[in-house]
Amino acid sequence: MTGRAVTSRTRALVIFLDKLIYKIAVHWLLLANLAVGLYVGLPILAPVLMYLGLEGAGRAIYTLYYPACHQLPWRSFFLFGPKMTYSLEELIRAVGAEPFASLVSAKRFLGTPELGYKMAMCQRDIAIYGAILVTGVLYGLARRRWLLRPLPWRYFLILVLPLAVDASSQLLGLRESTWLLRTVTGALFGSASVLLAYPYVEEGFRDIRLQVEAKLGPNPQEQVHV
């Protein structure tokens, strides 16, 4: 193989990678929303699979999310039961105290046909990532009309403060939060995170697009085949 052939192939590879990076820079928000949608969607799918009798697939999702969330049933939403939320006392009355003798065993309690099945993420996490997804979609619609600026830090801290107070006081055992507080504070945190971070990410990818266009000309993504 001649040096010219190697140089030609290397140049072709560099151009391909530049075009691929450009395509990612153009569609980063779609990719981010799809990733978040998948991440928050699987925990909601888990109780659906359990209800349909596909327990192996459902349990696999619960296991997959064990490292990411405590999944305590009295802090999780339930589907396909008479209620969407249960207190620890209600769960003990329904199935006895044995499944909740420790946090490890409580985490592995998935539900029953009578109670329904819990989601594979707690209420707060569902609210956080659900809000990230919804706000990300709305951001995508709004950025076409307005050049959105990052949320000022002081407003971000104001929106995050309720979660910090609610979660820390619960963690320290000072009080037990409610499903409504977990949901609202989590949603505020998720939305505030998007409004703070996404404009910076958009600016960074805009710089990447301009750099690639300077090298390859306008609309280089039209030549990408993946």
Please give the pLDDT value at position 226: 37
Residue 159, pLDDT > 90, answer yes
pLDDT value of residue 225: 43
Question: How confident is residue 143, by pLDDT bands cut at 50, 70 and 90?
Answer: confident
Q: Give the model's pLDDT for residue 3.
A: 52
pLDDT tens digits along 121-139: 999 999 999 999 999 999 9
- Taking residues 58-64, report their average pLDDT: 97
- Whole-angstrom CA distances from 30 to 23, 35, 136, 149 are 11, 9, 9, 19
How confident is the model over 91-114, as a mean pLDDT? 95
List the Cα angle 112/133/120 in 5-degree steps.
Answer: 20
Q: Which amino acid is at 127?
A: A
The three-state (H, E, C) secondary structure of 91-126, written as one string? HHHHHCCHHHCCHHHHHCCCEECCCEEEEEEEHHHH
Contact 78, 95 (CB under 8 A): no
pLDDT reported for residue 196: 95
pLDDT over 80 (residue 53): yes
**At residue 217, does pLDDT exceed 80?**
no
pLDDT one-digit tens code per residue, 167-212: 999 988 888 999 999 999 999 999 999 999 999 999 999 998 888 8
State how far the Cα of 218 lies from the Cα of 225, in Å rounded to an integer: 17
Instruction: Find the helix or strand (DSSP H, E) in which 81 lies.
Output: none
Confirm if 84 and 78 have CB atoms less than 8 A apart: yes
Is residue 115 packed enough to be buried (19+ CB in 10 Å), middle (13-18) or exposed (0-12)? Answer: buried
146 pLDDT higher than 50: yes
